[in-house]
Structure 1
């Protein structure tokens, strides 16, 4: 999997140790969730850590939600981006990566 950095405005392919953020609100659409990336007020969200990457899916570990540690497996599309964006519970809207420094 290519773990190069994305340019501003480009989608980032998830890689190991990335954080993947989602809005926790069943009434929010994916389009609305993507607007939260630059939102400057509070909203119900969470991030999970990418722990494994395969050609067609990734595994995530999340904690401190519902008093549990959970594992999720998400499908990737042909370009390596998260394909599971229509789940009733999770609206994935950004991938965060440490860029060094």
Structure 2
């Protein structure tokens, strides 16, 4: 079991890596503050750590044909102490998006990660937000698909009208995205084809 304070540990890992990579920021789909790149000296090796510890795959930041964003999420979860049976580490975001969507169908109260439609749930710190790179932003389209092009970031703060999410391999770095949220707290950002929020039910503190 993931111990007390798991979400806090997840956020600390994310912020540490974001600081390490120079605090790159993206808003409305464009970089407004530039950080360090995946191929720069030292940072390519750090991406290699994400790959190896997150997925067991021996790649690094110089292997630019291989997106490392899911490896970064997997590294974050493992470093924070989240066991594989609660969050399946993978080189593909779709693996754990599918896992969370299937959890939602079962509705098991002991499930740690459960997917929601954007209009049905307001993201909170520790949750993941997901968008597709494979067509329309339709939650139902992906319920029974475990392999497709996609991306997730993890929520690190929630403010009035905005959430901050951190992910890897975003404009070649570890990047904070500032995303719009509506009056009910729902994600309304249109910079990507967002289609799901994965609720993180692990302990906050």
2:154 to 46, 49, 68: 49
1:20 to 125, 129, 146: 129
The 1:50/1:100 distance shift into structure 2, 3 A limit, reads: closer
In 1, distance between residues paired with 2:133 and 2:175? 15
Rg bigger for which structure? 2
Residue 195 of structure 2 corresponds to which residue in structure 1?
Answer: 93
Q: CA RMSD in A?
A: 2.6
Segments of 5+ residues of structure 1 without an aligned counterpart are 1-5
Question: Secondary structure, in 3 states, of the residue corresponding to 2:120?
Answer: coil
Higher percent of residues as strand: 1
Instruction: State the number of aligned residues.
Output: 88
In 2, distance between residues paired with 1:39 and 1:67? 30
Length-normalised TM-score, structure 1:
0.71
